[in-house]
């Protein structure tokens, strides 16, 4: 096995050096970014991957953006205000914004996009915009979003894919396949995509904030292996890489050619469990909450963090990081308990439950999968680890072709955006089709309240139901770690983990 792994790694490293030799010359004004995964569709309506959000950060401006510490700030909308009854959100739009095809962005364009997100059969944004009853064009630069009920997370929703505005002309021409050549209003426009290899964007000279853009082209290269991605950076084949492995921070400390950049993160890894989505749910883990509780108790999150992430990723059993406004200390993580896990399996009348656990094809996540396999094995589980390319894993999970799978959620500034996608009956990441009407009622009530203390009470009740039913299992929150060549300046880490290129330049 060791020799096979060695030959595999040698082959990947050889391929990297071959690409360095064969690659065309790169301009000093080009920025080459190494990503861990290949995005899914580059269509805000249907996209669901973290890698896709990274690309969108350069390609598609949103109505609202966030600050590095997670507060909201203007982007395509210069301001927004709630009506007295909290049932209308009125946005003032930025003047002089053009799409990549030269068309003007205005209130009519915003209405076209929001209506598509609300009604397109393939849209993953429908649940996020469910309380929206209508979108009204007040004047060319003012749009009013009418709600059927108060909806506190709406501004947060518009700070993500549902707030990305595409060219209505491009949507009219080919809405179903617009992700193949997306036309947005961001600082860079689409050039080409070679699946599993690279995505190239070029600077838009008409960008409304063009003075903040200092590179001509950005080339995203998909390199799942953390070691190979870092090797490409150190060799000069890349300028910036995402998700530097915590174990490599010390490795590059004395390398004057590169630097690590650390920042806060609201991202977390989660295990999704198929409880009701087709035949793959017909196993003890999928059908029995006690078995899922036992599985969760078999896991030592702190050990995973220590071994795989140098102890930098804080263990967690909930979607909000410890210290965040909506973190619930009354449901704090209690830690591993193998004896109790075995007792729960006995209560459930299940012996040696077996299931397949899908993980993405990176060595780091593969190591996490192996540790979970060994830990659960000590409690009596037979876990088979299946390694898949990340887009295949996401597609299989979405289609119910999985029993348990691990995914990353990059996090949202509003707690509803961290919980509801995974466990609400209509959540777009609720791959396992878990549905608890009582939980849905609590989440709905929390969305309609703007008082944080009252919302916190409802989220605490929600967490109690989730921990009992265990349809998904948060593992730990991230610490954002990037690495860049020493001549890359102006990169600012954001807690959402996205790579914003405003202000970034090469000296």
pLDDT tens per residue, range 410-437: 888 899 999 999 999 999 899 999 999 9
pLDDT tens per residue, range 64-122: 999 988 889 999 999 999 999 999 999 999 999 999 999 999 999 999 999 999 999 99
What are the domain boundaries of the chain? 30-40+186-265+480-506, 61-173, 268-477
Res. 8: pLDDT tops 80: no
pLDDT tens per residue, range 24-55: 445 558 999 999 999 999 999 999 888 999 99
| CB 485 within 8 Å of CB 232 | no
Question: Per-residue confidence at 5, pLDDT binned at 50, 70, 90?
Answer: very low
| CB 304 within 8 Å of CB 371 | yes
CA 88 from centroid of its chain's CA atoms? 28
Return the CATH superfamily for domain 61-173. Dipeptide-binding Protein; Domain 1 (3.90.76.10)
CA 208 from centroid of its chain's CA atoms? 27
Could you give the CA distance from residue 397 to residue 401 in angstroms, rounded to a whole number?
6
For residue 203, what are the β-bridge partners? 188
| Angle between helix 452-469 and helix 289-297 axes, rounded to 10 deg | 100
Tokens of 454: 């009252």
* 109 burial via Cβ count (<10 Å: 0-12, 13-18, 19+): buried
Return the CATH superfamily for domain 30-40+186-265+480-506. Periplasmic binding protein-like II (3.40.190.10)
pLDDT at 26: 52
Could you give the CA distance from residue 224 to residue 233 in angstroms, rounded to a whole number?
14
- Show Cβ contacts of residue 426 under 8 Å, excluding neighbours closer than 6 positions: 126, 127, 130
| CATH 3.10.105.10 applies to domain 268-477 | yes
Three-state DSSP class for residue 290: helix
Tokens of 281: 């749910």
pLDDT at 27: 58
DSSP code at position 438: H
How many C-beta atoms lie closer than 10 Å to residue 413's C-beta?
A: 21
Tokens of 391: 């887009």
pLDDT at 413: 87
Could you give the CA distance from residue 94 to residue 103 in angstroms, rounded to a whole number?
14
Query: If you average pLDDT over residues 494-507, what whole number do you get?
Result: 94
Map tokens 């777009």 to a residue.
Answer: 428
Map tokens 């909290």 to a residue.
Answer: 86
| Angle between helix 452-469 and helix 437-447 axes, rounded to 10 deg | 160
pLDDT at 22: 38
DSSP code at position 227: H
Query: If you average pLDDT over residues 378-402, what whole number do you get?
Result: 96
The H or E element spanning position 41 is: none
pLDDT tens per residue, range 237-258: 999 999 888 889 989 999 999 9
Res. 10: pLDDT tops 50: no
Choose between 345 and 428: higher pLDDT: 345
Three-state DSSP class for residue 121: coil
pLDDT at 324: 86
Between strands 354-360 and 404-409, the pairing is: parallel
Could you give the CA distance from residue 501 to residue 13 in angstroms, rounded to a whole number?
28
Could you give the CA distance from residue 196 to residue 4 in angstroms, rounded to a whole number?
23
The pTM is what?
0.76
Tokens of 369: 């999968």
Three-state DSSP class for residue 8: helix
């Amino acid at each position: 096995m060791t020799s096979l792994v060695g030959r595999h790694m040698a082959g990947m490293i050889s391929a990297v050096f071959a690409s360095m030799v064969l690659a065309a010359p790169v301009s000093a004004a080009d920025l080459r970014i190494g990503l861990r995964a290949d995005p899914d569709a580059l269509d805000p309506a249907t996209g669901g991957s973290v890698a896709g959000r990274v690309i969108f950060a350069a390609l598609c401006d949103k109505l609202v953006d966030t600050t590095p510490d997670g507060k909201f700030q203007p982007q395509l909308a210069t301001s927004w205000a709630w009506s007295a009854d909290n049932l209308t959100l009125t946005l003032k739009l930025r003047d002089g914004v053009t799409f990549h095809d030269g068309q003007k962005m205005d209130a009519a364009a915003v209405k076209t996009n929001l209506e598509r997100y609300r009604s397109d059969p393939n849209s993953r944004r429908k649940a996020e915009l469910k309380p929206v009853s209508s979108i009204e064009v007040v004047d060319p630069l003012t749009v009013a979003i009418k709600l059927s009920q108060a909806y506190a997370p709406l501004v947060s929703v518009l700070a993500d894919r549902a707030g990305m505005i595409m060219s209505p002309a491009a949507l009219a021409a080919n809405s179903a396949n617009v992700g193949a050549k997306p036309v947005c209003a961001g600082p860079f426009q689409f050039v080409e995509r070679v699946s599993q290899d690279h995505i190239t964007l070029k600077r838009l000279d008409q960008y409304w904030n063009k003075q903040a853009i200092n590179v001509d082209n950005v080339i995203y290269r998909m390199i799942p292996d953390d070691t190979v991605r870092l090797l490409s950076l150190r060799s000069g084949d890349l300028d910036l890489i995402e998700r530097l492995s915590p174990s490599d921070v010390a490795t590059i400390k004395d390398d004057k050619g590169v630097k690590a950049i650390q920042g806060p993160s609201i991202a977390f890894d989660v295990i999704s469990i198929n409880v009701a989505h087709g035949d793959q749910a017909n196993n003890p883990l999928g059908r029995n909450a006690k078995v899922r509780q036992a599985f969760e108790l078999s896991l030592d999150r702190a050990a995973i963090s220590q071994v795989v992430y140098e102890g930098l990723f804080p263990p967690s059993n909930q979607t909000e990081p410890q210290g965040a406004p909506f973190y619930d200390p009354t449901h704090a993580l209690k830690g591993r308990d193998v004896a109790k896990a075995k007792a729960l399996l006995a209560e459930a009348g299940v012996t040696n439950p077996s299931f397949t656990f899908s993980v993405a094809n990176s060595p780091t996540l593969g190591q996490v999968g192996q540790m979970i396999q060994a830990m659960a094995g000590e409690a009596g589980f037979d876990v088979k680890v299946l390694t898949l390319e990340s887009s295949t894993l996401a597609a299989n999970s979405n289609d119910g072709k999985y029993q348990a799978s691990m995914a990353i959620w990059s996090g949202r500034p509003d707690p509803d955006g961290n919980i509801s996608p995974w466990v609400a009956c209509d959540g777009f990441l609720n791959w396992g089709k878990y549905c608890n009407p009582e939980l849905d009622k609590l989440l709905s009530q929390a969305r309609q309240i703007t008082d944080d203390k009252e919302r916190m009470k409802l989220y605490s009740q929600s967490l109690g139901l989730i921990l009992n039913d265990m349809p998904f299992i948060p593992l730990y929150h991230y610490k954002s770690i990037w690495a860049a060549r020493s001549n890359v300046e102006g990169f600012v880490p954001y807690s959402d983990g996205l790579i914003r290129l405003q202000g970034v330049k090469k000296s």
